[in-house]
Structure 1
Amino acid sequence: MASREETKLPLKLLVDKERNRVVLAEASRDLIDTLFSFLTLPLGTIIRLVSNKHGNDEAKEIGCINNLYQSVESSIDKVFWNKICKRMLLSPRNPCEELCQKLKLKVDDTEPMKYFMCSNKCKRDGDWVLSTFAEASCSCGKLMDKQMKLYGYSNEGSHADGVFVKGGTIYLIFDDLRVLQSSPGKSVQQLLQLGYKNFHNLTEKSLNVGLNEILDILKQALTSKSPLSDVLLGNEEYKKMCTFSPKLGPKTQGWINFNTSIKLKVTVRKSKKTILYAEAEGDFVDFLLSFLTTPLGCILKLLDGNFSMGCMNNLYKSVKDLNPSWFTGSSGTTPLLNLGVAPQFSCEKQPTRLCQQSTPNYWYSTGGVVKNNVCYANSNGVISKECSLIQHPSLMKLFEPRSPNGTRESYVGFVRRPSLFVVWDDLQVTPLANTSSILLLQKLNVPLDDLEEHELKLEETEALNLMGASLTSKAALTEGLFYLLKKPKEEAKA
């Protein structure tokens, strides 16, 4: 099988010769699966992919999420409960990992999940304990570093009928990443809408795209409306397209609402009408850090068209508009429209309606470990040909990596409690432990009588506004929250 670097997928372009622009492209399901997999990538993974592809490339900046990621990178381990927390934020897990491992061209380079137990075979409350991190410390003091075989699942090869979409048709891809099923009628209709009455100025170009091209397309698609032309034709004359405007009313969607609010203090520079920084405890910082573990498709659904991020909105809308019969899921369903944060990677205090994927059950026997969505177990053993080596399985408890003792009950978040932080307008995070407040104020170089402190409460709408601003602005606190400070004055005038 070809290596990750060697895999190439065919793509046929229809190019406007005069404008040097891709009018449309045609591709098979394998390339469409790869493009749709962009939606499954957590923001932390995206930052890593678009920053480290080439050592001499300029990193693609996504609002100020890059600053959040870099704050985690530069933080000392003592800021977090343990080393695993930092690793989780820098290399978050894809909620569709098992599906994405079957892609012919894999974008996500995160290390696949592995399973570990304590070599002493320790139990907790009579149950075996399973960890997905080798660095986890067992209650006996040893590391849980004995790797276990997972039965009934192999990530080799690709899905017989595609990963997200089915074969049996060619798909149209437009320069702004809109995707449609290809047909002569649709092609004519789309070309006419784009202003082409004939093929006089159009030429065909066939090429094969590999990982480098796909990563470049991902990189451009975050800010540009023409990533295919930018990457495949070397057209660098593109306009950055990222917009956001705060919502002032309540957000309503059909997701579970946890009715959680977070309080924080912000310091405003009155003359500039900007938020300089926020003083926050662990709950607010955990909420911000959870942006890194959240898949792009989750964010597009939560913000519901209230912001524009390059042409990723078009990719998400293409999934929504695609005929359900072309998805590989049962009854025309697809996980791409109902993505959640990977199990154990969510934020407990979550003001938005963001959900975590359900945590699977794991079963243990002397032969290995079985996942409940692969093999099914009962008191008489496992009902599966692939898992015939597993006999008399027992249910396992999953080790919570962010907990001091590995139990779900004691989990509180990524950063230690109690702790205080300064979060700057551009989402750089500075722990206040061993940091001089006087020195921080001196570095601001702002007249003290120009500073004003306000207390804010973040509920669903405010949290979503901050999320949208963080992806589109270099001043996330000001763009996402300053409108809250205008409310009392406007109401007083009314």
Structure 2
Amino acid sequence: MLEERTIHFGFEEFVDLLMLSLSTDNPLTNLVLGGSKPCTRSSCMTNSRLSNSAFISSNSGQNQMVKLIVQKSKKKLLCAQMENLFVELLLSFLTIPLGAFLHLTKDDSSQLALTNLYNSISCLRDGKYLKSEHANSELLYPKVNTSYPRVTDLLPIYALRAYTSRFLKEPATFIVSDNLEVTASSMDIISKLNTLGVPVGDMEVLEVNIGEKEAPLLLKACLSSTLALTDFLNALSEKTKGKLINLKL
């Protein structure tokens, strides 16, 4: 009942394996036998919707305020309005090693195959396989490369010698869509959405604080969904049992 195959792994195959590791729980089977394809923006869209339109967030002096615009009739998150510091947090996600991502977001319910790879390190650290305890730490708790600036204090991903700086040039207001497309906007977001056919009376604005407890949930949603903000809100609402805060028009 067994069949042995020899597969050539080139650059494209490794990229496909990386994408399948982030989107399926059996990436090798899918890669070799042609099952699920690497996730794309069109193929991975889900029907996720907001389970609650408001919730409690943690109180931290370093929290970043974000305005979320929800369409009430469809219970759908339309977009978010935010300032530089929150966009810096989003941009920092692009610099995080996968090991750090798994360390920050790991939970028992995760179906990512990379979680199994991460957990396998504990079986290799008995002195026979990993060359040193430092190698173990590099895999389980990697830091952002020191060539990148420290742009946020909401994630423990920077080495002590990392320098503090920014990716963005000057203060601005940004609009972020549910799938994390970021654009700068000088136009009032409510007026902009109204011109796109969403009545003002069908919108509600939710102000949410993003702190150290919320940032890993947002990071996890960004790497596992094309509706990242909606899935982040669902996860946070579930964590806080849907308790309401500061909802206003």
Q: Please confirm whether the aligned pair reaches a TM-score higher than 0.5, indicating the same fold.
A: yes
Q: How far did residue 358 of structure 1 move?
A: 3.9
On the 8 A contact 2:22/2:224 being kept in 1, the answer is no
TM-score normalised by length of structure 2: 0.76
> Which structure shows the higher strand fraction?
1
**1:207–1:454: structure 2 CA closer, same or farther, 3 Å change rule?**
closer
Q: How far did residue 306 of structure 1 move?
A: 5.8
The 3-state SS of whatever aligns with 1:319 is: helix
On the 8 A contact 2:125/2:136 being kept in 1, the answer is no
Q: Which residue of 2 aligns with 1:213?
A: 13
Alignment equivalent of 1:481, drawn from 209, 233, 243: 233
Paired with 2:134 and 2:229, the residues of 1 have a C-alpha distance of: 43
Paired with 1:250 and 1:422, the residues of 2 have a C-alpha distance of: 21
Alignment equivalent of 1:281, drawn from 83, 107, 111: 83
Q: Which residue of 2 aligns with 1:268?
A: 70
> Which structure shows the higher helix fraction?
2
Structure 1 stretches of 4+ with a deviation exceeding 4 A read: 237-241, 248-251, 435-439
**1:272–1:314: structure 2 CA closer, same or farther, 3 Å change rule?**
same
On the 8 A contact 1:286/1:347 being kept in 2, the answer is no
Tell me, yes or no, if structure 1 residue 417 matches structure 2 residue 170: yes
Amino acid at match of 1:236: G
Q: Can you list the C-alpha shifts for 1:359-382, whole angstroms capped at 9, x where unaligned?
A: 39xxxxxxxxxxxxxxxxxxxxxx
The 3-state SS of whatever aligns with 2:214 is: helix
Paired with 1:226 and 1:315, the residues of 2 have a C-alpha distance of: 12
Paired with 1:438 and 1:478, the residues of 2 have a C-alpha distance of: 19
Answer with 1 or 2: which has the greater Rg.
1
The 3-state SS of whatever aligns with 1:266 is: strand
Q: How far did residue 316 of structure 1 move?
A: 0.9
Paired with 2:16 and 2:151, the residues of 1 have a C-alpha distance of: 34
Structure 1 segment 351-430 matched on structure 2, within 5 A: 351-352=154-155, 354-359=156-161, 411=165, 413-430=166-183
Q: Which residue of 1 aligns with 2:107?
A: 305
On the 8 A contact 2:174/2:183 being kept in 1, the answer is yes
Amino acid at match of 1:209: F
Q: Which residue of 2 aligns with 1:98?
A: none
On the 8 A contact 1:324/1:333 being kept in 2, the answer is no
Alignment equivalent of 1:322, drawn from 124, 131, 143: 124
Q: How far did residue 281 of structure 1 move?
A: 0.7
Paired with 1:259 and 1:428, the residues of 2 have a C-alpha distance of: 27
Amino acid at match of 2:101: I
Amino acid at match of 2:184: P
Q: How far did residue 340 of structure 1 move?
A: 1.0
Q: Which residue of 1 aligns with 2:193?
A: 441
Paired with 2:178 and 2:17, the residues of 1 have a C-alpha distance of: 29
Where in structure 1 are there 5+ consecutive unaligned residues? 1-200, 252-257, 361-399, 401-407, 490-494
The 3-state SS of whatever aligns with 2:102 is: helix
Residue identity (%): 30
Q: Which residue of 2 aligns with 1:452?
A: 204
Paired with 2:225 and 2:143, the residues of 1 have a C-alpha distance of: 24
Alignment equivalent of 1:293, drawn from 81, 90, 95: 95
The 3-state SS of whatever aligns with 1:355 is: coil
Q: Can you list the C-alpha shifts for 1:390-439, whole angstroms capped at 9, x where unaligned?
A: xxxxxxxxxx6xxxxxxx5xx3x211332111112221111014x57576
On the 8 A contact 1:277/1:422 being kept in 2, the answer is yes
TM-score normalised by length of structure 1: 0.41
On the 8 A contact 1:343/1:359 being kept in 2, the answer is yes
**1:213–1:266: structure 2 CA closer, same or farther, 3 Å change rule?**
closer
Structure 1 segment 239-254 matched on structure 2, within 5 A: none
Paired with 2:145 and 2:209, the residues of 1 have a C-alpha distance of: 27
Where in structure 2 are there 5+ consecutive unaligned residues? none
**1:307–1:458: structure 2 CA closer, same or farther, 3 Å change rule?**
farther
Paired with 1:282 and 1:315, the residues of 2 have a C-alpha distance of: 35
Amino acid at match of 2:214: E
Q: How far did residue 260 of structure 1 move?
A: 2.3
Q: Can you list the C-alpha shifts for 1:327-359, whole angstroms capped at 9, x where unaligned?
A: 02257734101101111425433323x221243
Q: Can you list the C-alpha shifts for 1:194-223, whole angstroms capped at 9, x where unaligned?
A: xxxxxxx11333455333332332232221
Paired with 1:235 and 1:323, the residues of 2 have a C-alpha distance of: 34
Q: How far did residue 304 of structure 1 move?
A: 2.0
